[in-house]
Amino acid sequence: MTRTRVHNLNISLDGYAAGGTVTLDAPIGGAEALFGGFDGRFIHGIDAVDAPVTLDRALTTLWGQGIGAEIMGRAKFGPPAGDRPDGWRGWWGEEPPFRTPVFVMTHESLPPIEFANGTSFHFVDGPPHEVLRLAREAAGGLDVRLGGGPSTVRQFLQADLVDFMHLVTVPITLGRGVSLWDGVSGTEGRFTVESVASPSGLVHQLWNRNAPVPAG
């Protein structure tokens, strides 16, 4: 079995997981404070960085475990088409952290982009189950990470295609933005949820999809 997993999806107290329009100066659309305390160095494991291993960082290390491909929305890859500099290759320079194929959901038709570290971006148009099929093929038996943003995760939740989510409540308010839950209800009934308060003030939630009830 392979899973479709969401990691480190940070949500404000008032329910927002991203801001409004993404610009070159505002990669999360004005909601950059959501990641103010996030130590991204830990996504590749505790051995990758010389810093104390806190609960928050320990849970961050789940990000890369057994992942063979990522799916992301267009806004995670970059600003809208007209607002990007020529030759845009994403926010991450020549060392994107993914190190796997990444499927960017967009109506634009763009050629793939490849990097020396194993990352490649593939631009695909289609419904969630079709994009997931492509990502699974590319993942070679490993899990698929659903990288966000919140609108993308929401589409997959509504299609019941998410197996695991690590959500993080950040004790800040944003006042406006994009909610993961907009128009979604009853999702929690399909999952078993653990909530864990961190000494840092964050609250971590681990959502594990319940096994399907056998037919018959």
Question: Which C-beta is closer to a second copy: that of 3 or that of 84?
Answer: 3
Q: How far is the CB of 54 from a second copy (least distance, A)?
A: 6
Q: How far is the CB of 10 from a second copy (least distance, A)?
A: 17
Question: Which C-beta is closer to a second copy: that of 85 or that of 211?
Answer: 211
Rounded CA-CA distance 187/120 in Å is: 32
Q: How far is the CB of 206 from a second copy (least distance, A)?
A: 6
Q: How far is the CB of 59 from a second copy (least distance, A)?
A: 6
* Contacts to a second copy by CB under 8 A: 1, 45-48, 50, 52-55, 58-59, 61-62, 65-67, 142-143, 164, 192, 194-199, 204, 206, 208
Question: Which C-beta is closer to a second copy: that of 74 or that of 145?
Answer: 145
Query: Of 35, 29, 103, 109, which Cα lies nearest the Cα of 72?
Result: 103
Q: Determine contact, residues 203/187, Cβ cutoff 8 Å.
A: no
Q: Determine contact, residues 114/146, Cβ cutoff 8 Å.
A: no
63 CB contacts (<8 Å, ≥6 apart)?
7, 8, 42, 43, 44, 145
Tell how far CA 114 is from the center of its chain.
20
Question: Which C-beta is closer to a second copy: that of 125 or that of 194?
Answer: 194
Question: Which C-beta is closer to a second copy: that of 45 or that of 97?
Answer: 45
Q: How far is the CB of 31 from a second copy (least distance, A)?
A: 25
Q: What value, to the nearest 5°, has the Cα angle with vertex 116 and ends 57 and 51?
A: 20
